[in-house]
Amino acid sequence: MAVEVVMPKLGMAMKEGTVSIWNKGVGDPVEKGEPIASVSSEKIEIDVESPAEGTVLKIAVPEGEGVPPGTVICYIGLPGEEVAAALAVEEDQKPEVENATSVNEQTEPITSVRTARNRVKISPVARKIAEAANLTIENIKGTGPGGRITKEDVEAAIKNSASPQAEEKKETFETHVKPLEETQQIPVSGIRKVIARRMYDSLQKTAQLTINMKADVTDLMALQKQIAQTVQNHYDQKLTVTDFIARAVVLSLQKHGEMNSAYLDDKIHLFKSVHLGMAVALEKGLVVPVIRDADKCSLIDLSRNIKTIAQKARQAQLNLEEMQGSTFTISNLGSYGVEHFTPVLNPPETGILGVGAVYDTPTYIGENLERRSILPLSLTFDHRVLDGAPAAAFLQTVKQYLEEPITMLL
């Protein structure tokens, strides 16, 4: 009996997952545990592995289509079951074909073409270009992984077409895209598409407000240098400003529990533990790995965990557990020279702290003018959960910890 492969649930708030790419086509053999597709959701893109050895009988969800978790995306079975699966597909399509035409002879060719197309591995962008140029995709040789037809393959097929009819089609196609000749078109897919949709939804479905504050971290910088050698000798660890900021945020969230929350199903969920998300910029986009139970970590433990998850993120070694369940997020753009910015909420969280670059400026301390190191902070919060005053109180507490860093060691 055919085995169903379903869209996995990748997070508590996940409502839809998207098939980014199929690695296998209908009729292809698969081994148990072999990646057959990539699916993406709110925070992550992962490979879906085959639950059994067999053959891909049917692909139920095409690339680029989003479906709820638990939806069957394909069927795996024995090679002998393929005929039954094909007949089932044909029966499903038959009423549609009969309604579309009164000529019975056309039913079989249309079904055959559709079935053949399902077996051709081609990227969505390549398919669109091929259709616009009136090319038959079955005649195009794919050079991508597993014989997949790429955009470059289609463009090469258009260029190498020698017949007058093909040249006419080519001219029509080039005329069609001529206004865009000087642009570079980058398909939005995979994690970039997930981020785009997620950030758009965040701004559309939450009441976001950002407040700014500056913390004097002169004493913190001095403390960091003072204990650097001791920390290195005893823990083989280097404490960074980011580590202290994370510690200050965790301690502040314990004092201001309303910020350590999520807005779900018209209810505010207050979390007892702090699961800290740390935004990490990658070549393909932004990911937010999570340090679970950060409130139970010492400063040294927190520092070690931050470095570990950042390294795993850059090496694409994060597992699903490390990518979901955050209750508050920190986004640091200081290394890029950015001061204040407006971070966008990571739904369904209530708050996200944007951290800018430390800069030196002359500041009056009493009657004396001194050189001080200033750290810009930007807090975006969901106004549906709390108002400006409690949000400002939280940010003020973060500021106090950073300006009195010794309190984070006690």
Of 196, 36, 18, 10, which Cα lies nearest the Cα of 124? 18
Walk along the chain (410 residues) and give the pLDDT tens digit of each residue: 789 999 988 766 667 888 878 888 888 899 988 889 888 775 677 788 899 888 888 899 988 788 888 899 999 988 767 544 444 544 454 444 333 333 333 333 333 333 333 457 777 667 778 877 778 888 888 887 667 788 788 888 887 764 555 455 545 545 555 555 677 777 776 677 778 878 888 899 899 999 999 999 999 999 999 999 999 999 999 999 999 999 999 999 999 999 999 998 889 999 999 999 999 988 777 889 999 999 999 999 999 999 999 999 888 888 878 888 999 999 999 999 999 999 999 989 999 999 999 999 999 989 999 999 999 999 999 999 999 999 999 999 999 999 999 999 98
* Neighbouring residues of 277: CB distance < 8 A, sequence distance ≥ 6: 288, 289, 290, 291, 326, 327, 328, 329, 330, 346, 349
Neighbouring residues of 328: CB distance < 8 A, sequence distance ≥ 6: 249, 253, 259, 260, 274, 275, 276, 277, 349, 350, 351, 352, 353
Prediction pTM value = 0.62
Residues forming the active site: 383, 387
Q: Supply the pLDDT for residue 180.
A: 52
Inter-residue contact 356 to 341 (CB < 8 Å): yes
CB neighbourhood size of 346 (10 A): 23
- Structural domains in the chain, CATH included, are 3-180 (2.40.50.100), 208-408 (3.30.559.10)
Reported as half-sphere exposure (CB side, CA atoms, 13 A), residue 175 has a value of 6
pLDDT of the residue at 380: 97
Rounded Cα distance between 55 and 49, Å, is 13
In this prediction, residue 108 carries a pLDDT of: 34
Helices and strands (H, E) in the chain, number of each type: 10, 19
Closest-CA residue to 196 (of 122, 284, 263): 284
Q: What is the pLDDT of residue 132?
A: 76
Answer yes or no: are the C-beta atoms of 405 and 223 closer than 8 Å.
Answer: yes
